[in-house]
């Protein structure tokens, strides 16, 4: 176990990394954001952001993990210097905080999958079904527990025999399921209108800066760049791995999955919604509680009236559950990897992670508003993490980083000087734009009268308070982090 | 569908899916043994020298 463990093949690493990147954000957030930002034109900023934010950061993560063979805390202490272990700690804090409520979300997917299998979603009021489910604390807690136990069980199996083996089945399976759903949707009468909306660009929307910022946000959250997850998997990569190639596969694979979802969902909604007297674009745009609108409110209602709808519903919720589980696995592994660095045996580290995930996730399972707050705070925290990775490269020396760690032995694709510019200047600029814009949204749109209040769900104050508390504690404990994560780990 | 919609669909799906498939082919070439395929590596080594 420990750092002697490696993925058995490049396919194993690629499948696990794709599993990390492709999650619920591809299936239920992406179509909503496309619909809200003018359809086809949105694809241009979204793809641009893949090239200008996500892929450069994925390369940074992969290179650091492969070079240091340590989790996020040990990696930052190694690359930036011992005084900066807390930055790796903050990356871990953000991702583990997300793991806690992401497990709840994965539980929702499992609940709906079970209901779809049992044909319990047809002929019922989908809104009432959702409201009854979220109002039941026992069910919420049990499905949350099931999700974290499944993910932890797979991680407990080890990197090659657990994570790799499961992802090698689930990721190709996910693409097949999405393709089946897309083919079925495209054969519905009226499906072409959905494709037209999804692809036809309304050029005027590109003049709106918000569309560009939404594209950047979607790419940053969807690919998992800057979360420390790809870094964690790269820790177990073989010596001769191609950092640029693997990063490109993950980035383009993530976007390919999102497009496949769009090719299925947009035609389905445009074909089925008018029959129920609904406006397709409104259906796609509705956020719903905790952004559940499309997946949990509309899909059951729409697919129920479609020929073969029960089968389609099973396919949809199976794909959603698989995407959620593979992402949750990577989050559990990130926490486990750091705990192993701190000298805790792997089986115990997995158990501790699962217990923490379950207990810290319970408030999100019991109160949607708490989950929404955590999503807001730590989702934005990930942008800070992205900046931290750029800072790490700057301090290491951007050219040295590229030559020694990215274009290292095993790299077939060589990265040129353009990458230096992206990491040194563009990523920090993108971070400032994004964080400034989201804080502006908080002050002007979400919480105009109490944006400073740390107890409001979407306030600027709650971000500053929770980040500040986390960073403050980590900075105070920096010396201890260095001793534990660089000096005391078993796995050296 | 309009001609513009079809053109955009071809460009986006062709570009993103095409790139993904091409990258998977590159991975497949490298996926085998410890060193993997070497055509790209050889080319790089030549460039570097």
So what's the pLDDT on residue A425?
95
Q: Is the pLDDT of residue B32 over 60?
A: no
B3 touches chain A (CB under 8 A): no
Closest-CA residue to B18 (of A47, A217, A243): A47
The structure tokens 């807001």 sit at A376
Interface check for B5 against chain A (CB to CB < 8 A): the answer is yes
Q: Which residues lie closer than 8 Å to B40 by C-beta, 6 or more apart?
A: A412, A413, B26, B29, B30
The answer to whether the Cβ–Cβ distance between A201 and B8 falls below 8 Å is yes
Contacts of A238 in chain B (CB under 8 A): 34
Q: How far apart are CA A214 and CA A150, in angstroms?
A: 33
Find the residue in B nearest to A244 (Cα): B23
C-alpha to C-alpha distance for A139 and A142, rounded to whole angstroms: 5
Interface contact B17, partner A, CB < 8 A: yes
Predicted confidence at residue A75, as pLDDT, reads 95
Which residue in the block uniquely carries the two structure tokens 């660095």? A341
**Please, what is the end-to-end C-alpha distance for chain A in angstroms?**
11
Q: What's the token pair of residue A457? A: 């769900």
Angstrom distance (rounded) from CA A465 to CA A420? 33
When the pLDDT of each residue in chain B is averaged and rounded to a whole number, the result is 75
Q: Is A304 on the interface with B (CB under 8 A)?
A: no
Task: Tell me the CA distances in angstroms from A81 to A25, A62, A372, A392, one per residue in order.
Answer: 34, 19, 35, 9
Per-window interface: A 224-263 vs B, CB < 8 A: 238, 240, 242, 245-246, 248-249, 252-253, 255-256, 259, 263
Chain A residues closer than 8 Å to B49 by CB: none
pLDDT at position B29 is 84
> Which residue bears the tokens 């993103």?
B16
Task: Identify all chain A residues contacting B20, using CB atoms and an 8 Å cutoff.
Answer: 249, 252-253, 255-256
Q: Give the nearest partner residue to A245 out of B4, B12, B23, using CB atoms.
A: B23
| Residue A1 confidence (pLDDT) | 41
Residue contact A40–B35, C-beta within 8 A:
no
| Three-state secondary structure call for residue A39 | strand
User: In what helix (H) or strand (E) does residue A185 lie, and over which residues does it extend?
Assistant: helix A165-186
Min Cα distance B37 → chain A (Å) is 9
Residue of chain A whose alpha carbon sits nearest to that of B14: A256
Beta-carbon separation of B30 and A242 below 8 A: yes
Return the percentage of chain A with pLDDT > 90, whole number.
75
Are B23 and A248 spatial neighbours (Cβ–Cβ below 8 Å)? yes
Contacts of A412 in chain B (CB under 8 A): 26, 30, 37, 39-41, 43-44
Which chain B residues are Cβ-neighbours of A249 within 8 angstroms? 20, 23-24, 27
Residue at token pair 């779809």 = A116
8 Å CB contact of A248 and B23? yes
In chain A, the percentage of residues whose pLDDT exceeds 70 is 97
Q: Spell out which residues of chain B touch residue A240, defining contact as CB-CB under 8 Å.
A: 34-36
Which of B30, B37, B38 has the most A C-beta neighbours within 10 Å, making it the best mutation to test the interface with A?
B30
Q: What is the least distance, in Å, from the CA of B25 to any CA of chain A?
A: 10
Alpha-carbon distance of A141 to A209, in angstroms, equals: 41
Q: Quick one: average pLDDT of B22-36? A: 72
Q: What is the pLDDT of residue B35?
A: 39
Q: Consecutive sets of 10 residues in chain A, 492 residues long: mean pLDDT of each?
A: 76 95 91 89 95 96 94 95 95 97 96 92 86 92 97 96 94 93 90 93 90 91 94 92 93 96 92 87 76 78 83 92 96 97 95 98 94 93 95 95 87 90 95 93 92 91 96 96 76 35
Instruction: Look at A199 and B5 and tell me if their CB atoms are within 8 Å.
Output: yes
When pLDDT is cut at 50, 70 and 90, the band that residue B47 belongs to is low
Q: Do A413 and B40 touch (CB under 8 A)?
A: yes
A200, B17: Cβ pair inside 8 Å? no
Tell me which chain B residues have a C-beta less than 8 angstroms from the C-beta of A40.
5, 8, 12
Partners of residue B30 in chain A, C-beta under 8 Å: 10, 242, 245, 412
Q: How far is A47 from chain B (nearest CA, A)?
A: 9
Helix axes A10-21, A165-186, angle to 10 degrees: 50
Could you tell me the CA-to-CA distances from A184 to A97, A173, A178, A188, A398 in Å, in that order?
37, 17, 10, 7, 48
Paired strand residues for A185:
none
Nearest-by-Cβ selection for B5 from A11, A195, A240: A195
- Nearest by CB to residue B35, choosing from A43, A201, A240, is A240
Residues of A in contact with B44 (CB under 8 A): 411-412, 414
Q: Does residue A49 contact residue A57 with C-beta atoms inside 8 Å?
A: no
Residue A20 confidence (pLDDT): 96
Model pLDDT, residue A298 = 82
Q: Do B47 and A411 touch (CB under 8 A)?
A: no
Q: Do A192 and B1 touch (CB under 8 A)?
A: yes
* Contact between B15 and A47 using a beta-carbon 8 Å cutoff: yes
> How high is the pLDDT of residue A429?
96
Contacts of A252 in chain B (CB under 8 A): 16, 19-20, 23
CB A29 within 8 Å of CB A219: no
């Amino acid at each position: 176990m420990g750092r002697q463990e490696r993925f058995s093949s490049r396919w194993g690493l690629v499948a696990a990394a794709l599993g990390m990147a492709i999650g619920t954000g591809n299936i239920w957030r992406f179509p909503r954001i496309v619909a809200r930002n003018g359809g086809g034109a949105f694809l241009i900023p979204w793809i641009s952001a893949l090239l200008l934010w996500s892929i450069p950061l994925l390369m940074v993560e992969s290179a650091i993990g492969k070079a240091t063979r340590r989790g996020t805390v040990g990696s930052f202490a190694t690359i930036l210097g011992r005084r900066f272990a807390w930055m790796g700690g903050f990356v871990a804090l953000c991702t583990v905080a997300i793991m806690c409520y992401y497990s709840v979300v994965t539980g929702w997917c499992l609940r709906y999958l079970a209901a779809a299998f049992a044909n319990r979603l047809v002929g019922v009021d989908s809104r009432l079904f959702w409201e009854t489910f979220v109002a039941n604390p026992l069910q919420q807690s049990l499905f949350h527990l099931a999700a974290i136990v499944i993910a932890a069980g797979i991680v407990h199996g080890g990197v090659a025999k657990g994570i790799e083996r499961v992802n090698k089945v689930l990721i190709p399976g996910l693409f097949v399921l999405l393709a089946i759903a897309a083919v079925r949707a495209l054969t519905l009468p009226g499906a072409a209108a959905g494709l037209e909306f999804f692809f036809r660009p309304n050029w005027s929307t590109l003049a709106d800066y918000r569309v560009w910022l939404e594209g950047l946000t979607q790419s940053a959250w969807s690919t998992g760049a800057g979360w420390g997850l790809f870094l964690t998997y790269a820790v177990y990569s073989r010596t001769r791995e191609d950092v640029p190639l693997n990063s490109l596969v993950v980035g383009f694979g993530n976007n390919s999955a999102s497009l496949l979802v769009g090719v299925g969902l947009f035609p389905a909604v445009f074909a089925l919604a008018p029959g129920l007297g609904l406006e397709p674009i409104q259906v796609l745009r509705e956020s719903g509680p905790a952004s559940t609108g499309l997946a949990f409110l509309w899909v059951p209602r729409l697919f129920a009236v479609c020929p073969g709808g029960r089968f389609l519903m099973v396919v949809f919720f199976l794909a959603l559950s698989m995407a959620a589980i593979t992402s949750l696995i990577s989050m559990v592994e990130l926490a486990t990897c750091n705990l192993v660095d701190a000298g805790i045996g792997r089986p115990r580290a997995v158990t501790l992670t699962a217990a923490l995930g379950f207990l810290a996730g319970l408030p999100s399972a019991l109160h949607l508003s708490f989950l929404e707050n955590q999503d807001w705070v730590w989702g934005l925290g990930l942008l800070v993490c992205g900046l931290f990775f750029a800072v790490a490269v700057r301090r290491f020396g951007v050219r040295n980083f590229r030559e020694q760690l990215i274009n290292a032995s095993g790299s077939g694709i060589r990265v040129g000087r353009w990458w230096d510019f992206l990491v040194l200047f563009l990523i920090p600029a993108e971070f400032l734009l994004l964080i400034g814009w989201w804080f502006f949204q908080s002050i002007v749109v979400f919480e105009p009268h109490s944006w400073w209040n740390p107890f409001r769900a979407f306030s600027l104050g709650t971000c500053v308070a929770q980040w500040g508390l986390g960073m403050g504690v980590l900075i105070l404990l920096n010396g201890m982090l260095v001793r534990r994560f660089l000096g005391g780990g078993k796995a050296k | 569908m309009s001609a513009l919609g079809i053109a955009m669909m071809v460009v986006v799906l062709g570009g993103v899916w095409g790139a993904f498939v091409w990258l998977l082919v590159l991975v497949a070439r490298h996926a085998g043994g410890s060193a993997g395929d070497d055509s790209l590596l050889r080319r790089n080594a030549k460039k570097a020298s």
